[in-house]
Amino acid sequence: MAKSYNICLDVGGTKVLGAIFNEKDEIIYRLKKRSKDSGEGAADVEKVIVSVVEEMIRESGIDRSKLNAIASCAPGVIDQEHGIVLFTPNLPWRDYDMRSAMEKRFQVPFFVGNDVNLGVLGEYKYGAARGYKNVVGFFVGTGMGGGLILNGELYTGNQFKAAEYGHMILEPEGPLCGCGQRGCLEAFSSKKGMSAYIREQVARGRKSMMAEAVQDGVFRSKKLKKALEAGDTVAMEAVDRACHYLAIATGNMINTFSPDLIVYGGGVMEAMGDLFMEKILAEVDKYCMPQIRSTVELKPAALGDDSILYGDLAMIKGL
């Protein structure tokens, strides 16, 4: 009996997004659930993931015996070969054997990889980066992730730890980052970085529509978009600062790798990609050699929220 269906998961710090792909690589069913409501332990997050898979199988009506494989991402450092989540900053997992847990539960092969590596792989195989051999990906979300395609292959480095250039240090005396260093790209240009800047300005007595949105953590991208449309000065400063450091980081990656393409994905780019691209493009030439810059394209991701799901699919297929 042909195994027709693959289930792909995007597991983040606040949500689990799932999709079922048919044999034509089309999404036929999708589901999103919050992971933060699941409690604090690794087993609680696992329960949410299991519930997403079970509900998708049940509600889509697919024949369970025709399920080929399940794949997932996780943010952080992943031993992709053995399916173990070594460390993730936004979920309670340390040395978590995700593959064994999921294969025991569903009796099909299970694959797991770093979220942004898979997002860039998804864009490379199915989206904006198709046809390019060397690709640098920046994914701007709650944090700042990176992914690299070098000579047509996903580059994961020693023990799958490569491409953490969200933590390249751009200002040694800059703001503290969640990784423990100061002045990382993530500390300036992610939702965490922008939220911290807005909180700091509000604490100094400045007015912003974003004050409540950043009070207990990071804002939702839609709130930032509304504040910018309303001419919120503090929100615009946060965006200008984020794009300034993204332009510097982009220039560094252009000089280092001379890629064919730099692609920008993630929730922030999905919500405000045109504005961010405009600001990055306005500055990036200051930070790289013109002879190298002239052969690099810069563009937003094409698959939106589905980049990682398609990367999961590519991982299952060994692409």
CATH number of the domain within which 151 lies: 3.30.420.40
Res. 189: pLDDT tops 80: yes
The mean of the pLDDT values for the chain is: 93
19-23, 32-36, 56-60, 276-280: which has the minimum mean pLDDT?
32-36
Q: Indicate if 138 and 283 belong to the same structural domain.
A: yes
Q: Indicate if 181 and 282 belong to the same structural domain.
A: yes
Place of tokens 């990609």: 273
pLDDT number for residue 18:
97
Which amino acid is residue 181, in one-letter code?
Answer: Q
Q: Indicate if 107 and 146 belong to the same structural domain.
A: no
| Apex 106 CA angle, 67 and 87, nearest 5 | 115
Q: Which two tokens stand for residue 311?
A: 């990367």
pLDDT number for residue 41:
66
Beta-strand relationship, 110-114 and 67-74: parallel
Q: What are phi and psi of 156, to 5 degrees?
A: -115, -5
Q: Indicate if 27 and 63 belong to the same structural domain.
A: yes
Structural domain of residue 22, as residue ranges? 5-119+307-317
pLDDT number for residue 75:
85
9-18, 127-136, 176-185: which has the minimum mean pLDDT?
9-18
**Burial group, residue 47, by CB count within 10 angstroms (0-12, 13-18, 19+):** middle
Which tens digits make up the pLDDT trace of 223-272?
A: 999 999 999 999 999 999 999 999 999 999 999 999 999 999 998 998 98
Instruction: Report the DSSP beta bridge partners of residue 67.
Output: 5
pLDDT number for residue 36:
60
Tell me the average pLDDT across 277-282: 98
Q: Indicate if 109 and 135 belong to the same structural domain.
A: no
Q: Indicate if 106 and 144 belong to the same structural domain.
A: no
Question: What are the residues whose beta carbons fall under 8 Å from the beta carbon of 245, sequence distance 6 or more?
Answer: 170, 185, 188, 189
With CA atoms as reference, report the closest residue to 265 among 138, 143, 171, 156: 138
Contact yes or no for 96/121 (Cβ under 8 A): no
Which tens digits make up the pLDDT trace of 300-312?
A: 999 998 999 999 9
pLDDT number for residue 40:
57
Q: Indicate if 143 and 288 belong to the same structural domain.
A: yes
Which amino acid is residue 281, in one-letter code?
Answer: L
The percentage of residues in the chain with a pLDDT greater than 70, rounded to a whole number, is 97
Q: Indicate if 296 and 313 belong to the same structural domain.
A: no
Contact yes or no for 254/292 (Cβ under 8 A): yes
Tell me the average pLDDT across 166-170: 96
Instruction: Report the DSSP beta bridge partners of residue 29.
Output: 20
Place of tokens 């500390």: 187
Question: What are the residues whose beta carbons fall under 8 Å from the beta carbon of 12, sequence distance 6 or more?
Answer: 35, 75, 90, 115, 141, 142
Tell me the average pLDDT across 183-196: 96
Q: Indicate if 294 and 311 belong to the same structural domain.
A: no
- DSSP letter for each residue of the chain: ----EEEEEEE-SSEEEEEEE-TTS-EEEEEEEESGGG-SSHHHHHHHHHHHHHHHHHHHT--GGGEEEEEEEESSEEETTTTEEEE-TTSS-EEEEHHHHHHHHHSS-EEEEEHHHHHHHHHHHHSTTTT-SSEEEEEESSSEEEEEEETTEE---GGG----GGG-BS-TTSPBPTTS-BSBHHHHHSHHHHHHHHHHHHHTT---TTTTTTTTSPPPHHHHHHHHHTT-HHHHHHHHHHHHHHHHHHHHHHHHH--SEEEEESHHHHHHHHHHHHHHHHHGGGGS-HHHHTT-EEEE-SSGGGHHHHHHHHHHHT-
pLDDT number for residue 38:
45
Tell me the average pLDDT across 291-316: 96
Residue 178 pLDDT level (bands cut at 50, 70, 90):
confident
pLDDT number for residue 42:
66
Q: Residue 98: how many CB atoms within 10 A of its CB? A: 24
Q: Indicate if 168 and 101 belong to the same structural domain.
A: no
Q: Indicate if 293 and 226 belong to the same structural domain.
A: yes
Q: Indicate if 311 and 164 belong to the same structural domain.
A: no
Which tens digits make up the pLDDT trace of 90-137?
A: 677 889 999 999 999 999 999 999 999 999 999 999 999 999 999 999
| Number of domains making up the chain | 2
**Burial group, residue 275, by CB count within 10 angstroms (0-12, 13-18, 19+):** middle
